[in-house]
Amino acid sequence: MTVATTKQQAPCGAWTSPIGAAVVAAGATPLAAIMFDGPDLYWLEGRASEAGRSTLTGPAGELTPAPFNVRSKVHEYGGGAYAVHDGVAWFSHHADTRLYRVEPGQAPVAVTLDNAHRYADFVVDAPRARLVSVREDHSAGGHYPVNTIAAIGFDGSETVLVEGNDFYAAPRISPDGSRLAWLCWDHPRMPWEGTELWLADIGADGTLLNGRMVAGGPQESICQPEWSPNGALHFVSDRSGWWNLYAFEHGVVQALCPREAEFGGPHWNFGGSLYGFAAGGDIVCAYVEGGVSRLARLRDGGLADIATPYEEIRELRVQGATVALLGGAPTVALELARIDLDTGAHAVLARSIGQLPPVDELSVPRSISYPSANGRTAHAFHYPPANARFAPQDGELPPLIVIGHGGPTGMAASTLKLSTQFWTSRGFAVLDVNYGGSTGFGRAYRDLLKGQWGVVDVEDCVAGARHLASQGLVDPERLLVRGSSAGGLTTLCALAFHDLFKAGACYYGVSDLAGLDADSHKFEAHYNEYLVAPKAQAAAVYRERSPIHHTDKLTRPMIFFQGLDDMVVPPQQSQSMVDALRARGVPVAYLSLAGEGHGFRKPESVVATLEAELVFYLRVFGIPVPAGLPALDIGNLPAA
């Protein structure tokens, strides 16, 4: 027998939700960097209760107790922070950037002795008693560090193997130990614009011989070089317009599976992996079509999907007949799963969220495509409000929060995120936009943002909000926009140059493009030449697009959030915007957070920012603020 239940009607935005800010902050355990060592699996877990410390976990449990934080600072975004061989692990410690060695049951021991070097993406070269690593040398004290590929002896000695390029990634040693492959690129390119794949022989003394470029160039992005067990070099290239799989063998490059799908992603972090080699020579891979990931087996050019519950696969590794992956779906938070290719058995080894809210409290998104400016089609995930006990008042349409993701070469995925459900369970609709420039839709879509940052991304966010409003799904008078980092620029430009959104939230967002150039770290020092304009034309275009020069056009209420240790977007950018809006009488709130960088890791920071943003929206729309939420100082807005 089915028992009918009546939901209580209440103003959208003020619904009582089981997904509080503390649940969002404490409920997520970041999972990353899975790696096999023989049959044993290792991965990184974040510790929200320990200021976001990242720890290495393996068959025997935690290998890196506090205060060790397994995290690299190379390129500022890091990744590739550890390697394991025969049960022994080497890792980069975030606090001092030194390399450490740790064996099960023992305390970590420092291998390198100074903190002038940073290391990432290292592989173990056991016969030569060394690691081969991307190294970033800050010892000269210049404006930018020097990047190389170096050999780090188990005794701590260091030898440069490859130098001369601005950037390096993915050193990979062939199975027989005789060859080394790597990626490199130079300013002004970013790695998703153009990279080179190089190959060299390893001499008897461990140095490299006969180095030669085997693929890539200024207009071809290559990622994820890997060796097959039989010694064939594989990689992912977008030479066809899509990141597809290729093999280099006997001097010839061969396409393995031409398809309008993405088998790789942009190199923001080291160590990414979306394919591996199974017993028998098959390739097991993840690919993205239409913003959704699938797992598949590639054999003799034929691609056969492998059923999983996941719609996003962030990384995977293969060992024999076993696949380990990080996957998620609309009702599945990111989890670490092990899949047996022979039997289909599926085991979950770790979950990013231990206890999920009931399914009837979750908003399940639908993937939508809609018309945008200049005949473009944009893509997004639409989350309607969802709550087991509450419904809108008669005739009420929900307010909409439009999210512009960071990157801006990122991709919005549909994996369950409590930070999104925090809003939908309170009566907000959410539109998570894959604007032109996003990954996952081919190079032509990604290149829509070339020279158009602050234009195309903004137009696609505006068009998405209008699309939902025209369908009667959201309240056209209560449209909000929020974003972080690059998405922060999208937010500011949407409010400055379009009269649609009623308020916005900017998390450590870019407001001054010229200032970003002046303060940027090496990895992104020339990124704006791709996103905005070459240096010869930059000054005029920067001024035209930088919100800091158009504060007279910002009339809508805004809230800003900024980590004071941010090395990517300097805190002064947010402070300048806040000061300008306050002086002009625009309602504005500002939360600066000590000890936080580019992205907030501390649980108290997550709680403070989410609750402040909620209170801000409620007060802007005149919705009663529920008891228990903190007071918020909103300059130029009359007290509630």
The pair of structure tokens assigned to 376 is 């473009």
User: Of 26, 21, 33, 73, which Cα lies nearest the Cα of 47?
Assistant: 26
Residue with tokens 């890196």: 64
Q: Record the pTM.
A: 0.91
* 231-256 pLDDT, tens digit each: 999 999 999 999 999 999 999 999 99
- Is residue 460 very low, low, confident or very high in pLDDT (cuts 50, 70, 90)? very high
Q: Which pLDDT score is estimated for 27? A: 65
Evaluate if residue 544 carries a pLDDT over 80: yes
Task: List, in order, residues 6 or more apart from 543 with CB less than 8 Å away.
Answer: 514, 549
User: What single-letter amino acid sits at 267?
Assistant: H
Alpha-carbon gap, residue 589 to 561, rounded angstroms: 9
Residue 236 in contact with residue 246, Cβ under 8 Å? yes
Peptide bond preceding 408 in cis form (omega within 30 of 0):
yes
Quick one: fold of 357-512+539-620? Rossmann fold (3.40.50)
User: What single-letter amino acid sits at 576?
Assistant: S
Q: Count Cβ atoms below 10 Å from residue 406 Cβ, excluding itself.
A: 22
Q: Rg for the chain (alpha carbons), in Å?
A: 25
User: Of 541, 559, 561, 380, which Cα lies nearest the Cα of 461?
Assistant: 380
* 83-132 pLDDT, tens digit each: 999 999 999 999 999 999 999 889 999 999 888 999 999 999 999 999 99
Q: Which pLDDT score is estimated for 5? A: 64
Q: Which pLDDT score is estimated for 380? A: 97
User: Of 25, 48, 21, 5, which Cα lies nearest the Cα of 425?
Assistant: 21
- Average pLDDT for the chain: 93
Residue 406 in contact with residue 377, Cβ under 8 Å? no
Angle at Cα 279 formed by Cα 273 and Cα 285, nearest 5°? 30
Domain boundaries, the chain: 357-512+539-620
* 359-375 pLDDT, tens digit each: 989 999 999 999 999 99
Q: 486-497 vs 456-470: helix axis angle to the nearest 10?
A: 70
First to last CA, the chain: 47
- Is residue 1 very low, low, confident or very high in pLDDT (cuts 50, 70, 90)? very low
Per-residue b or e along 478-511, where b marks 16 or more CB atoms closer than 10 Å to that residue's CB: bbbbbbbbbbbbbbbbbbbbbebbbbbbbbbbbb
Residue 515 in contact with residue 567, Cβ under 8 Å? no
Q: Which pLDDT score is estimated for 407? A: 80
Would strands 40-47 and 31-37 be described as parallel, antiparallel, or unpaired? antiparallel
Evaluate if residue 3 carries a pLDDT over 60: no
The pair of structure tokens assigned to 47 is 């510790």
User: Of 485, 509, 523, 461, which Cα lies nearest the Cα of 193?
Assistant: 523
* 374-412 pLDDT, tens digit each: 999 999 999 999 999 999 999 999 999 999 998 888 899
User: Of 34, 52, 54, 30, which Cα lies nearest the Cα of 43?
Assistant: 34
